[in-house]
Structure formats: C-alpha cells, structure tokens
Amino acid sequence: MICVYPRSRFAVAVLTGLMMASGVWADWWQFQGPTRNGASPESGLMRSWPEGGPLEVWSFPLGEGYAGPVVRDGDVYILDRVDERQDVLRCLDLATGAELWNYAYDAPGSVGHSGSRTPPTVTETHVYSVGMLGDFLCVDRKTHQPVWRKNILSDFGNGPSSWGVSQAPSLWRDLVIVAPQADDAFVAAYQRETGALVWQSAGLGKVGYVTPVVATLAGVEQAVMVAAYGKTAGISLEDGSILWSYDGFQCQIPIPYPTPLPGDRLFITGGYDAGSAMIQIAREGDAFNVTELFRTDECGSQIHQPLFYEGHLYVNSNTNSRTDGMLCMTLDGQIKWRTRDSRDLPKFERGNLLLADGMIIALDGKTGILHLIEPSPEGYKELARAKIFDGNKMWSPMALSRGRLLLRDQETLKCLDLKNP
C-alpha cells in the first residue's frame, strides 16, 4: 500500500527542522552512502525498536531487481525495470512515498537473475544511472529528461555478460566514471555535462560486476577497480593510465569493490571461494609499489562491501559454497568472531549492511529480518530485530537519510522510521 499525501514545502521544512533539532542527518546520494563506505553520519537513531519493529512510513511497488535507492534533498531515486522491456528511473517523495516523476526508456532483453541492478548517483542537478543492458544516462532533475545517453556495452563492442551490467557511477571533479570492461576500455571517464568520452583505460582482465571506487592512496586520488580472473589496479583519474596493479586476488565473479583503509591499505574480498586479501600502496617518486599484507580463505563477501569501524572490519562473509554469517576481523587478518560459530545467531545470507550512529543495520537476505547490532570485537551484540519482508533474494543495498531507512525485496520498496517509536 502506498501512503500518498499532498506535498507541502511548509511540511517538508517543518519535518527537516525537527530532524535537525533531534540529531544529525545527511543525504545518501550515491551507492554506499555519502562517502561511499557504507556509513552514514546520522545520529539520534533508536537503539531499541518498539514491538513489531520500526514504523513503516510507506511502501512502493517495484518490478523485480536488485537496484537500491538513493536520496537527495528529500527525493528518493531508484532505477526500476518493467517486464524485461523497459528501465524506469523513478523519483519518490521521501516523506510520503508519492511518485513525483519517472523517466522510462526501452531496453528489451533478459539475463540471469534479471531485473534492475545498481543505485543511481545524484548531484545537485543531474541523475546518472546504468541499466542492466548497459544504458548509461544523465537525466536532468528539473526537466526529468535525458541530457545525454550512452551504452557502455555497444559503444565499446561488448555484449551483455551472464548477469548483465552492474555499475553505480562514480564522480570525480567534472567526470563521471564507469567500467565498460572492454578490452581497450576497462574503465572509462565521461564529461558530466556533455557525456563526451574523456579517457579510457587499458584492459585488466575479464568482465565482472564491480563499480570503480575513487580513493586516495599514497597521496594520489585514483580509481580502483577489480577484474574477473585479472588484476586489481589503481587508475589515473587524469588520463586513465594504470598506476599500479596486483594479481594476488583472483575471483571468477567479483562484485564488491576494494575497501580503502587507513595507511594506504585496500581490503579486497569476493565470493566463489576467492577469499580476501589486504594490500598496501606506496609511492617512490612517480612509481607505485604494492605490498601484499595477507591473504585469507577465512573470509569472503560475495556481494556486499565490508564495514570499517574503530579499527575492525565487519563483513557479511557468505557465498554460494559456504555460510560464515557476519564476522569481525582485525586489520592484520585475525578473525575475532563470526556468527556461524553459534546455531542461535543469524547468518544473514547475502543481505546488505550499513553503519550509522555507532550501530550496524543488517538485513538478512533470506529471512527478511532486519537486525540492529552494536559493533564490537568482543562478540556479536544484537540490540533489536524485526521481520520486514516475506520475499526472497533480498540482496539490494539499503539507504539511510533523515532518519528514514529505505530497503527492498523483489517486489516492494519500504521506508522505515528509525528515529521515532
């Protein structure tokens, strides 16, 4: 059921004022949040939930898929897919769930686990999105029409891979960066306003499902990308040249991007028995050096990014062949605990997790139960739980903005109030 109320500037202003008075709030305008690390600066969230769980503010029906939402200026953006024939960029009101506008375009075709894929990226003026079949659009937030459109498959001579295209555009200065993963254009940068191709990198390996992440390593901003059965590499944001590469981590179907950590370190993880690795990047003059700090088979996240909090990594370490549940790891690779070691603790399947107000919010991808967790190396400490969905394959990334948690299954986007009982 969709709760729809007339949109009022006064009501939105009052709501915003109340939220600011009761804690810090922030937009979640791109994949993995404002700083792309799965963490929100919001505060004032409940540390326990009322009976029945957090209040459901609204819900909205969607086509099947995995694309999560993002939020900017009180507007929710999500890339939907309808009947294997169209991609639909939808804009909803965060306060009410009312659909404010949408832009649909034809994109007929299907792949394995079909449906929408990744969240869009939203600036003050534009929305950048990549559809399941490679359609790359810049849509104006005021006119609701495309400013430009590309296709990161056909433009570089590629066809769709087994599970389509999974890209959440990254921004750097006046560029928008995606990974076509073609032989001669593994990562590509486009001019944000015009869509003109600015640079393309050389090949790194086979096609996977990783989004490039912008990180500062050894004092240099760069795009970091992982290839399937290939290399993890740092790529110059100025011209697309390869700054450094590492081939010690090999994954047949990589999905998470490397996690930047203090000390110029990167934590790389994947499913399909790829395990995880920690590397460190150093620079001597114009040359970069890569040091492998450790590799481990004891941890591997198939889909989602690890969270870094107070010197420890919290990982949903689940894949097709094994179920470790959530685990806590030191930055030298020591496992402090994992929920698989207790029959009574949740295993989370391939659900998403995010960090806010000193707590982990994690959705079990199989049971539809939402868990509120206090991160601690001493052990798994659950603060609350609530049944949210009865669906399946609840693997989509969540979003948090203004105290509202947005999460979905294969049919519905829901908005929960995490500030007020």
Q: pTM of the prediction?
A: 0.94
Exposed/middle/buried for residue 106 (C-beta within 10 Å: 0-12, 13-18, 19+): exposed
The Cα–Cα gap between 411 and 128 comes to 23
Across the chain, which distance is largest between two alpha carbons, in Å? 60
Please give the pLDDT value at position 161: 86
Report pLDDT digits (tens) over 386-409: 999 998 899 999 999 999 999 999
pLDDT less than 70: residues of the chain:
1-22
The token duo for 97 is 């769930």
Residue type, 243: L
Query: What ranges do the domains of the chain cover?
Result: 1-168
Nearest Cα neighbor of 353 from 419, 407, 280 is 407
Q: Which pLDDT belongs to residue 381?
A: 98
132, 148, 194, 198 from 191: Cα distances, Å: 22, 11, 6, 6
Complete edge-to-edge strand list for the sheet that includes strand 213-217: 213-217, 220-226, 232-236, 242-246
Which amino acid would we find at residue 357? Answer: D
Calculate the CA 38 to chain-centre distance: 7
Q: What is the pLDDT of residue 22?
A: 60
How high is the pLDDT of residue 48? 97
The CATH code that applies to domain 1-168 is: 2.40.10.480
Q: Give the closest residue to 399 by CA, choosing from 387, 382, 416, 374.
A: 416
Calculate Rg over the CA atoms of the chain. 20
A 10 A CB-CB count for 155 gives 15
**Contacts by 188-196 with C-beta closer than 8 Å and gap 24+?**
188/152, 188/156, 188/240, 189/237, 189/240, 190/136, 190/150, 192/123, 192/126, 192/128, 192/138, 193/147, 194/148, 195/138, 195/147, 195/148, 195/149, 195/150
CA distance 36 to 72: 15
d(CA 361, CA 370): 7
How confident is the model over 81-91, as pLDDT tens digits? 999 999 999 99
pLDDT of residue 188: 98
> How confident is the model at residue 98, as a pLDDT?
98
Sign of CA dihedral 29, 32, 35, 38: positive
Going by C-alpha positions, the residue among 52, 67, 39 that lies closest to residue 393 is 67
What is the model's pLDDT at position 160?
80
